[in-house]
Amino acid sequence: MDFTLTAEQQMLSDSVARFIQNEYDFETRTRLVAAGDDDAANWRTFAENGWLAVSSPEELGGFGGSPIETAIISEQFGRGLVIEPWLGCAVLATQLLLASGDTAAQAEWMPGLCDGSRRLAVAWSEKEARGVPHVVAVRADGDARLTGRKTLVLGGVGADAYLVTARVDGEIDARGGIGLFLVKAGAQGLQVTPTPLQDGSAVAALTLDAVAARRLAGDGLAALEQALAHAVCALCAELVGGMERAIEISADYLRTRQQFGVTIGSFQSLQHRIADMSAEMELARSMLFAALASLENDDPADRGPVLSGAKALIVSAARSICGQAIQLHGGIGMTEECAIGHYFKRAIVADALFGGRTLHDAICAEALQAELTQAAA
């Protein structure tokens, strides 16, 4: 798999970078966070530039791009700390709808998702699940009415409808018996509670009380795991972009901040610190490439440990690098007015999305143990 950007991919990266530089600086983002909402005008810009449609099939209104194009956009959004629900709506929801194989739902919703006129959000996470997708307590009765509670719904505030996983059969942690349902916003018995996160973005919690839903075709769990694989790669790309920008900001600060009559960037120990941070960031980028290659080439059963390893390592690197960036800034790095601390906050939130470090370390350990057992047999 070639990760050298084509001319078209470089143009895509440059266009997103220009948007971040010219229309989404830190002051603009701060105003959006203070207002407690994302900007509808920005979402229209995403649509007009084709970013929302980049990974959707051409026959459904998209451009037929690969996960690499999604990662390119995500990386630039990570540099700008974009709070619009790109990850939840443009990546996770779009990929879940495509993975469901429900052609009727795709024909109804994909054109609106691509042109930005409609938003879908995915309600899969539950308090009991702790990031495990097949732990589902929300139940669907024989009439496709859903009862239960979903948490951490990315893009759930302001969504037009929700793709909800619910159990139609079996115990709470059984891999079988999970269906995928479409619930319209405003449905009777549906309560949507906005929840602000530490990084300035917002999610929603859904409380469902016998809510009427439409069941989509296909295996709900298989479709969800496919969509989560895409979302994990996009999140990892976002974190790589955030790490890179945090290092750039820190290096600029070291070149201008003076102490003892000289710029602190002249101190060899701080130069070594920046070099170590850059090396750690490049290792994280390599793991992103491995995750993207696995997403493109491996069977779903084989790519799980690769994606888990990538998320665990990249989140750890992001927390380390962005935390060190705060230290390099000294006391000012702890203030809300300084951008650097917000990259660390995003890394903290990212750690909790799609399963935490403990879950992904366990997945990697189980895969390694299985390989060792097989080799010893």
- What is the rounded end-to-end Cα distance, in angstroms, of the chain? 33
One-letter amino acid at 362 equals A
Could you give the domains of the chain? Answer: 7-115 (1.10.540.10), 120-218 (2.40.110.10), 222-376 (1.20.140.10)
- What's the pLDDT at 318? 98
Percent of the chain, pLDDT > 90? 88
Is it the case that residue 1 has pLDDT exceeding 90? no
One-letter amino acid at 92 equals L
Quick: pLDDT tens for 264-321: 877 899 999 999 999 999 999 999 999 999 998 878 878 999 999 999 999 999 999 9
Long-range (24+ apart) CB contacts under 8 A made by 274-280 are 274/247, 274/250, 274/328, 277/243, 277/247, 277/250, 277/320, 277/321, 277/324, 277/325, 278/247, 280/317, 280/320, 280/321
Least confident of 79-83, 127-131, 144-148, 351-355: 127-131
Cβ–Cβ under 8 Å, residues 76 and 17: yes
Quick: pLDDT tens for 61-98: 899 999 999 999 999 999 999 999 999 999 999 999 99
Reported as a pLDDT band with limits 50, 70 and 90, residue 13 is very high
pTM for the whole structure: 0.95
- What's the pLDDT at 262? 85
Cβ–Cβ under 8 Å, residues 306 and 298: yes
Q: What is the mean pLDDT of residues 121-133?
A: 95
Q: What is the mean pLDDT of residues 207-214?
A: 98
- What's the pLDDT at 85? 96
